[in-house]
Chains A and B, each alone.
Chain A
Amino acid sequence: MSDASLPLTPPSRQPQPGAPDNWRRFFSFSTDHKVIGIQYIVLAFFFFLFGGLLAMVMRGELITPDSDLVDRTVYNGLFTMHGTIMLFMWTFPMLNGLANYLVPLMIGARDMAFPRLNAVAFWLVPIFGVILIISFFVPGGPSQSGWWAYPPVSLQNPTGNLINGQSLWLLAVALSGVSSIMGAVNIVTTIVRMRAPGMGWFKMPAFCWTVLSAQIIQLFGLPALTAGAVMLLLDLTVGTSFFEPSRGGDPVLYQHFFWFYSHPAVYVIILPIFGVFSEVFPVYARKPLFGYKVVAVSSLIITGLSGIVWVHHMFASGTPGWMRMLFMFTTMAISVPTGIKVFAWVATIWGGKLRLTTSMLFGLGGLTMFLFAGITGIMLASAPFDIHVNNTYFVVGHFHYVINGAVVMGFYAAIYHWFPKMTGRMYYEGLGKLHFALTFIGLNLNFLPMHPLGLQGMPRRVASYDPEFAFWNVLASLGAFLLGVSTLPFILNMLSSWVRGETAKDNPWRAIGLEWLIASPPPHENFEQIPIILSAPYGYGSDEPLTANDPTKELASEPSES
């Protein structure tokens, strides 16, 4: 490397150097954060398609009121695995992929703090992915207790086997937890300890703030789920009775363990997407992120509040009145920092010079969907209203607006935005816009009808329903199929662009940020010399340089003026 002239010889940064510089490296135990990032994203997207396929079979069943397409057990397995795969195999790995790829570039580091741990965390993902897929083929099928795995249903185990869908499910979730904790330790350490000189907290891009906030949630939330999952597994396999009411257990306690993590998990998912919005809007509006510091800090406030809201999932459960009221207030409080962000994005866009690239369109689409979901979210926080719509399709519609609307659209915004950086190629703008149009229409056609259904009282997780719900269900099913089709132009675009797209410049969007100062795709270990940060991010409209040195130049040949 270039710094052979340094007084201190660095310890070997790459524990496993010499990963081949071609497509094969994506199948190797590479420790390069950029390779791992892309590995995460591609693998996660594969599971996204798989989970989507399961959803389309479900919507096929729901296009008619009767339970006719698949058996009820199959339907129950489908929605359980759809939820599980979308959360544990798609959103978490996908966001870890984005964080892995972007965080070291954005903070001016050569790699993550623990490259080997990083690779191990990644390679656990295909392992528990395979376990989940295997669970389809064990006697009795996969888990059919929903992704919450509420006991006592999850403890019923009609096959009587030790190896059953539910125990495999718990094993996979446990491994996912291990992988996520490894990732969280790594990412938090990287952000706290490895920022380039000069990059104080308030010179760090908003994306890194949101990733940090999200990963802190993993650190304090996941162990609670692990505790609940261990107790559930013991109940299921060795015959303890923690959650078995017939033998003195308390099934509601499991719900507390589960939601103490799984509600904040929603913020683990949405926060980095907030970060993507904060990165994308300034670039294509040519304006600084409005109220950057407040936006940055509000991520941490969301993290703090996320730990004290979980009971809102249990308003209709075995919770007393005082608990319902208390958690109603805390839940509503979380809309304040979130609202700050939304207003800040709107103010960022306002009065700018907008360029509606595919990335910007997805960003704006995601923001729209999120705004809608945020409003239904506050409604759901209101306990008396939630008692009516709790466990109905209103909730399903709400969280799909968050997860498929805001998160998936935010993911697409990120991919289109950083695709030239990741691959060194440009994507096809026309296909991208087609992809956006199909996705946006498909999403709304799929999930908007779920709101009237829920208000009318259609419970979620049903394989059959009363005929009066047929109209909206047909619409939703058509939307789901359209949504499935919408991924085709994306896949086509990505594959063909990666292979033979136009070569991308280092900074095709004229964006400000460390990752845009270096080559596309970035070289191994990113920076020839570690950049020294001078100014806050998002300096659009001002002439202040971002760094004091040129990170693409070798240090030895560095002239002594800026």
Chain B
Amino acid sequence: MNPANLDPALEAQVIQETAHEEDHRMFGFIIFLLSESIIFISFFVGYTVYKTSVTDWLPAGVAGLEVHEPLINTIVLVSSSFIIYLAERCLHRDNLWGFRAFWLLTMAMGSYFLYGQAVEWMSLPFGFKSGVFGGTFYLLTGFHGLHVLTGVLLQSIMLTRSFIPNNYSGGEFGVAATSIFWHFVDVIWIVLFMLIYVWQ
């Protein structure tokens, strides 16, 4: 080896040590989300198979799903994705209060979505035992709703942590991951909305 041997050796240590958990976490989180998305894809495929093959698809007395309210819900959830992006931008510029404001707004929109979902569930004339249609409807919306709830909880943790002094000086993995999770939940919802509400 050349005389500069020590340098690559040293570099090697530095790469391994500093790049430890901090950097890997985002990588790990993204492959986790990719994996998670397969659960949704499986449910979607299942829904499609049922929809195209089951003879008595809608339960007796049910004409279809109301689209109006869920559409408003959809608009709120999708726009919250832009708001959370703004929050992140603020954090990048060390505008902590701006971050908190937009972050709180995202949480409010997420909570509104959950509220809207709950109201819809209450008003529906069928339950999860109403054939395969009822089952898949509640399964898909419920499983997604669980993810929205997780997202809001994660956001509240991040919000609380923003009050810890110097919390974000060493990077903001938690915020970035929560944000990615939120976009993920949004994208899933768009597909879900198309499948359940638009394709009737």
A-to-B contact residues, CB < 8 Å? 3, 6-8, 10-11, 13, 109-110, 113-114, 181, 184-186, 188-190, 192-194, 196-197, 219-224, 226-228, 230-231, 234, 238-242, 247-250, 253, 257, 260, 529-532, 548-549, 555, 558, 560-562
Contacts and interface: CB of A to CB of B under 8 A. Distances in A.
Given A530-B16, A560-B3, 8 more contacts: A110-B16, A196-B16, A220-B34, A223-B35, A228-B42, A230-B139, A250-B132, A253-B50
B131 A6 contact: no
Given A241-B131, A257-B42, A560-B5, A555 B20 contact: no
Given A6-B17, A8-B18, A220-B35, A194 B24 contact: yes
Given A113-B21, A241-B131, A231 B13 contact: no
Given A189-B27, A219-B31, A240-B139, A11 B42 contact: no
A62 to B, nearest CB: 37
A189 B14 contact: no
Interface in B9-66: 9-25, 27-28, 31-32, 34-39, 41-43, 46, 49-50, 53-56
B74 to A, nearest CB: 23
A184 B35 contact: yes
Contacts of B1: 548, 561-562
B9 A223 contact: no
Contact of A223 (B38, B46, B132): B38
- From DSSP, what is the main secondary structure of chain A's interface residues? loop
A231 B35 contact: no
A560 B16 contact: no
Interface residues of B, number: 52
B9 A549 contact: yes
B165 interface: no
Nearest to A13: B20
Contact of B132 (A109, A110, A242, A257): A242
B115 interface: no
B135 interface: yes
B128 interface: yes
B20 to A, nearest CB: 6
Contacts of A530: 9, 12-13, 15-16
Contacts of B194: none
Nearest to B39: A223
A271 to B, nearest CB: 18
B122 interface: no
Given A219-B31, A241-B135, A226 B39 contact: yes
Contacts of A561: 1, 3, 5
Interface of B: 1, 3, 5-6, 8-25, 27-28, 31-32, 34-39, 41-43, 46, 49-50, 53-56, 128-129, 131-132, 134-136, 138-139, 143
Given A223-B35, A227-B43, A555 B24 contact: no
13 contacts: A6-B17, A8-B17, A13-B20, A109-B16, A184-B35, A185-B32, A197-B15, A222-B35, A223-B38, A247-B131, A248-B54, A253-B46, A260-B42
A549 B13 CA distance: 12
Contact of A250 (B10, B19, B37, B50): B50
Contacts of B39: 223-224, 226-227
Given A13-B20, A250-B49, A253-B49, A239 B129 contact: yes
Contacts of B27: 189, 192-193
Contacts, number: 163
A519 to B, nearest CB: 19
Contacts of A531: 12
A242 B10 contact: no
B35 A219 contact: yes
Contacts of A181: 32, 35
Contacts of B53: 250
Nearest to A197: B12
A249 B132 contact: yes
Contacts of B22: 11
B32 A13 contact: no
Contacts of A6: 10, 13-14, 17
Contacts of A114: 21, 24-25, 28
A503 B197 CA distance: 69
A548 B13 contact: no
A186 B25 CA distance: 9
Contacts of B55: 248
A234 B128 CA distance: 10
Nearest to A112: B24
A240 B135 contact: yes
B56 A248 contact: yes
Contacts of A8: 14, 17-18
Contacts of B37: 223
Contacts of B46: 227, 231, 242, 253, 257
A25 to B, nearest CB: 22
A207 to B, nearest CB: 20
Interface-centre pick from B15, B23, B25, B35 (highest chain A CB count, 10 A): B35
A223 B54 CA distance: 24
A109, A110, A114, A227 interface centre (most CB from chain B within 10 Å):
A227
List the 10 closest A-B pairs by CB distance, nearest first: A10-B17, A227-B42, A223-B38, A240-B135, A562-B1, A223-B39, A113-B24, A530-B12, A219-B35, A189-B28
A545 B143 CA distance: 54
Q: Taking each of B17, B55, B56, B138, which has the highest tally of chain A beta carbons within 10 Å of its own beta carbon?
A: B17
Contact of B129 (A220, A241, A562): A241
Contacts of B35: 181, 184-185, 219-220, 222-223
Contacts of B43: 227
Contacts of A529: 9, 12-13
A532 B12 contact: yes
A221 B41 CA distance: 11
A388 B148 CA distance: 49
A260 B38 CA distance: 11
A184 to B, nearest CB: 7
A220 B14 CA distance: 33
A240 B19 CA distance: 47
Contacts of A194: 16, 19, 24
A109 B18 CA distance: 13
A241 B143 CA distance: 17
A241 B132 contact: yes
Given A7-B14, A222-B35, A193 B24 contact: yes
